[in-house]
Structures are given as C-alpha cells and as structure tokens.
Amino acid sequence: MASLEPLDSEYDVIVVGGALSGAATATLLLRQNPGIRVLIVEKSEKFGRKVGEATVEVSGYFLGRTLGLMQYLNEKHLCKQGLRFWFANERVESIDQASEIGPRYLARLPSYQVDRAELDEEVLRRAVDAGAVLLRPATVSSIRLNSGGMQEVEVKTGEGRRELRARWVVDASGLASLLARKEGWWKSNNDHPTASAWARWRNVKDWDGRELIDKFPEWAAAHCGTRGTATNHVIGDGWWSWWIPLKGGDVSVGVVFDQRLVNFPQEGSVGDRLRAFLECHPVAKELLEHAEYVSEDVHWRRNLAYQSEVFAGDGFALVGDAAAFMDPFYSPGMDWISFTAFRTADLITRQRAGEDGAMLAEKHNEDFKLSLTRWFDALYRDKYHYLGEYDLLDLAFQMDLGFYYWGVVREVFAHQDRGFLTAPFTHPAAGPVAAIMRIYNRRFAAIAARRRRLGQLGRMNDRQRHLIPGFTPAPGEIKKMIPLFFAWARLELAEGWKSWGREAGEPIKQEELTAP
Ligand SMILES: Cc1cc2nc3c(=O)[nH]c(=O)nc-3n(C[C@H](O)[C@H](O)[C@H](O)COP(=O)(O)OP(=O)(O)OC[C@H]3O[C@@H](n4cnc5c(N)ncnc54)[C@H](O)[C@@H]3O)c2cc1C
C-alpha cells in the first residue's frame, strides 16, 4: 500500500511509523483539521504479527467507536471474553485441579483479540483514505527539532535520501523510540526488570473443545461461558503467560517474568526454551500437548519497561511505544496508545487554532509524567512477587478491575471520545485512588515475600475456583468494592500483620527475592 500522491517537501505533520499509534493519530488529526497535510512514513513494506493482540475495555472503545472499527473488528477478529487466570502447586496434576479465576459470564463491554498484522494494515489504510500521504517503505533516519519552527526530517527510500520539513513531527516509531533515544530522554525502568519470550502456535488445544470436555467433564461444566476466547493467563511464581487466540486458529502464547525471581532456561532455541518453561505448569502442558510453535515467529525481549522523560514540545509529540512501555499484564498497551494518540491530536489541533504551543506541551508533559508514575506505583511495582498466589491475585485483580472501571472505563463511556483527554490517574480524584492501590499492591507483595521466605507459596493454588460477576461502568458499581476492602482487612488480621515491618512503600529487600 502506498499513496499515489507525489511527495511534497513540506507538510503540517509528519508521522514517523504507520502502525496503530501513528495511523490512529493521523486519522484523528485529519478528522479534526480538514485540509491538514499529514505524511506518514512507514519503514516496513507490510506489517507482520506482533504482540499487543488483546484489547481491554478502553482500547476496545477507542478502536471500535473512536476509530469507527466496530463492524470490522466483529467481522475480522475475535470478541474477547475477559481475563482468566490459572494457578498450580505441587498437588496439581491436571487442568481440573488447577485453581481458576475468571468472569462468571460473557463480557458486558466490547473488547477484542486482534491480529495486529491485519488490524494495523486496516487502520493505516483508513488513514490514507481519510487523506494522509503514505511513504512506504521508507525510514526516517534523522529528525532535527526546532522549537516553534519547522522540524527537519531526513527520509531514506529505495530511491535515496530526502529532506522534508513539517511544523510538527509525531514520533510513533514504537520500541525504536526515535526521538527519545536521540534526544537522551529515553530511560529504562530498572525498578521493573521484566523480560518476555513469545511465539504464535498451531494446534493448541481448544479450551472449550470436545477433547477437554470428555477428559474433564466436571471442569468443563463448572463454567457456562467460553474460556477459549478470554485472555487466559497461566501463572507461576514471578511469571505469567498469555494465551490469546487469533482468528483462524493460531494462538499467541508468551511468558513475561521478573528477572529477579525467575531463572528462564538458558540452553536451546528460544522456542524450545519457551516450551520447556511452560510445560512445567500442568495447565500449559495439557494445552500444548499437540502444539508446535511457528519457528519463524518466535521472539525474545529483555527489560521491557522504559519511558521518555519528555512527551511533547512546540513542534513534536511522542505516541504509543515511542513514548513509554510499562508492563503487558492486564493488556494496557493499546489503552496507552488511545490516550497518547488522542491527546497528541488534540494538542496539535489546539495549537493550530491559536493556543500557545509551549504551554500546551508543558501541560501534556506534566499529565503524562504523572500518569505513568502513578500508574506504575499503583499497579505494577513489585506485582510479580505475588501474582502467582491465587488468593492474593484474586483480591488484587478484583480491586484493580473495580478501580479501572470506576476511574478509567466510566470516564470514557461517560464522556465518549473526550474521556481520552484525561490521562489515567490524572483526574483530580485520582491521587487518593492511586495511593490506596499502591498500598494494597505493596502489602500483597510483602505478604507473598514472607510466604516465599517460609516456603509457603501457592497453598491455595489448587482446587479453588472464583467466577467473578464483574463490573459495569454504572456509577453505583463502586459499592461492589466494599466487601473487597473487608477481605483485605481479614487477610491483614489473619496473616498480613506478620509482614507489617515491611511496610507498603518500602522496597522489597534482596533477601526476600530468593526462595529459602
Ligand atoms: C510482551 C508484550 C505483550 C504485549 N501485549 C499487549 C496486549 O495484549 N495488549 C496491548 O494492548 N498491548 C500489548 N503490548 C503492547 C503493544 O505491543 C504495544 O503497545 C503496541 O504494539 C505499540 O504500538 P505502536 O504503534 O506504538 O508501535 P509499533 O507497533 O511498534 O509500531 C511502530 C512502527 O514504526 C515503524 N518505524 C520504526 N522506526 C521507523 C523509522 N525510523 N522510520 C519509519 N518507520 C519506523 C515500524 O516499522 C512500526 O511499524 C505488549 C507488549 C509486549 C512487549
């Protein structure tokens, strides 16, 4: 796909990277600014499959309604049925004995399991239909920023190099994070040393199919919805894996682990190591029995978490992974794309309408910095210490989900697209919520650290099943969180007080990280 229009040397906006975050930003800009000249420069000739395949409620809204892809998503991708979690301990020999957490019924709000090779192509095609000029394959080799002036962009194509100029550059280059790395803003999050290995697989067993129904009839009957189109998480101490089905039958399966807690196998190909690691868990072993990974589609990445220290200035902005990546647990990547793309389009639109660019950028930076800091502290800091514990994750998942519905999902559904102008955790009421979330997440981490020291991890990881009724964006739903706070209090009285010396906010000590 390439635009047929001849290339000018000057544009209003040049977008670096035409995948989801770049093409979405271009679409919003074109919608809000009739006649704006937008050039998208995309390196690849064709998008391949990538991670980022599960939407959640907010990214589902953004894709379905804001970008208008609902019918396309329903036709070409899979409707997602929430998140499910599977645990094990030494007493678990088969899938029916594994503890399970998941929704009781099918999802109430739309979300999807998407094949990104297909989806990103479609979003880009629509951006071009809306008027963007596409240069592809072409690589942006350098960007010279001029605050308040014209940005200079050097582009390499098969025909050589070209100097282009634009009033704004939007960096949507993903992990390459072109601007942040070049300007020295890129920072790895060393408090969160996660790594990941993943692949697309064929012949993974059908969670809802006859083979498992015949083998484990009571297990199959225990849930009356469908398990297979959820994002299933097979979980262990310090790690989790995602099982995301794609339209057509392939399944995306990958592991994310905290490098402080998990020794990933060192020998052999990444695909074989991934299989060997997963097969230690009885649920994964069952599902992979006849499966093989697609050998040309196996990937590995270390130190996943990073962010840019700057998100915008007078003449540029960073969106999606080019701006930051935190953690894939709960699939927030496309939520982040939704907020950064929407705010960036709004920033440029308002500056074009005469507002002060420097002031808009200052607010943009302030909001996204605050958002990321609170988001990480509230949700992910030290989470891998306890996510392998059925009872702790059960409680944390419900509380995290309740606050997500109350603070983020409700905001978007109540204000429609304008909900994307308030980055997560930046609403005036978000400070106390972030503080409460940080406290319970750190408390659960401390409780798990103590269990690990005593060799007591995983006591409830067999033969438990919690099928959760779930939340809706209705304002009264916050009441459903009251029993969860009582459950937390009971946990503290029964066991938590024994780790009170290791208070919330205190970093986990090194000796807590190693098993006894
Ligand atoms: C292990 C893991 C699991 C994940 N799971 C999920 C999930 O379930 N759900 C979710 O929402 N998110 C998930 N994510 C996050 C998600 O993958 C990303 O947030 C998302 O893909 C980022 O999209 P993007 O458009 O910002 O960047 P990308 O998709 O990386 O696109 C960047 C584009 O820029 C182009 N480009 C790069 N450099 C140049 C250049 N110099 N010139 C021109 N073009 C260039 C590239 O070719 C590419 O097309 C996961 C991430 C990881 C690491």
pLDDT in tens, 399-456: 999 999 999 999 999 999 999 999 999 999 899 999 999 999 999 999 999 999 899 9
Identify the pLDDT of residue 510.
55
Identify the pLDDT of residue 421.
97
Identify the pLDDT of residue 515.
36
Beta strands in 346-443 (DSSP E): none
Cis bond before residue 6 (omega within 30° of 0): no
For ligand 1, is residue 17 a contact (CB within 6 Å)?
yes
pLDDT in tens, 193-226: 999 999 999 999 999 999 999 999 999 999 999 9
Identify the pLDDT of residue 6.
64
Side by side, which strands form the sheet with 324-325?
A: 186-188, 306-308, 324-325
Distance 35 CA to ligand 1 centre (A): 28
Identify the pLDDT of residue 501.
73
45: left (phi over 0), alpha (psi -120 to 50) or beta: alpha
Residue 420, token pair as written in the block: 């994307």
Task: Name the band, by pLDDT with cuts 50, 70 and 90, for residue 7.
Answer: confident
Q: By percentage, how much of the chain surpasses pLDDT 70?
A: 96
Return d(Cα 164, Cα 154) in angstroms, integer: 6
Q: Which of 177-181, 182-186, 446-450 bottoms out in mean pLDDT, i.e. has the lowest?
A: 446-450
Residue 201, token pair as written in the block: 């697989």
Mean pLDDT of the chain: 95
pLDDT in tens, 116-149: 999 999 999 999 999 999 999 999 999 999 999 9
Identify the DSSP state of 33. Answer: S
Distance 321 CA to ligand 1 centre (A): 6
Distance 91 CA to ligand 1 centre (A): 39
Q: Which atom of ligand 1 is nearest to the CA of 116?
A: 21
For ligand 1, is residue 334 a contact (CB within 6 Å)?
yes
Distance 198 CA to ligand 1 centre (A): 15
For ligand 1, is residue 174 a contact (CB within 6 Å)?
yes
Task: Name the band, by pLDDT with cuts 50, 70 and 90, for residue 505.
Answer: very low
pLDDT in tens, 343-383: 999 999 999 999 999 999 999 999 999 999 999 999 999 99
Atom 26 of ligand 1: nearest residue by CA position: 320
Q: Which atom of ligand 1 is nearest to the CA of 321?
A: 26
Q: Which residues contact 98 (CB under 8 A, 6 or more apart)?
A: 86, 87, 88, 92, 282, 283, 461, 462
In this structure, the chain runs to a length of 516
Q: Is the pLDDT of residue 162 over 60?
A: yes
CA torsion through residues 399, 400, 402, 403, sign: positive
For ligand 1, is residue 196 a contact (CB within 6 Å)?
yes
Distance 164 CA to ligand 1 centre (A): 25
Q: What average pLDDT does this structure show over 303-315?
A: 98
Return d(Cα 359, Cα 356) in angstroms, integer: 5
Atom 50 of ligand 1: nearest residue by CA position: 52
Atom 27 of ligand 1: nearest residue by CA position: 174
Mutating to test ligand 1, I would choose from 116, 233, 334, 384 the residue with most ligand atoms within 8 A of its C-beta, which is 334
Q: Is the pLDDT of residue 5 over 60?
A: no
For ligand 1, is residue 371 a contact (CB within 6 Å)?
no
For ligand 1, is residue 241 a contact (CB within 6 Å)?
no
Q: Which of 31-45, 342-356, 359-373, 496-510 bottoms out in mean pLDDT, i.e. has the lowest?
A: 496-510
Q: Which atom of ligand 1 is nearest to the CA of 24?
A: 25
pTM over 0.75: yes
Distance 486 CA to ligand 1 centre (A): 40
Identify the pLDDT of residue 511.
53
Beta strands in 57-193 (DSSP E): 78-79, 83-86, 100-103, 112-113, 133-135, 139-144, 151-157, 160-171, 186-188
Q: Are 46 and 21 in contact (CB under 8 A)?
A: no
For ligand 1, is residue 213 a contact (CB within 6 Å)?
no
Compute CA distances 464 → 61, 92, 95, whole Å: 33, 11, 12
Identify the pLDDT of residue 3.
47
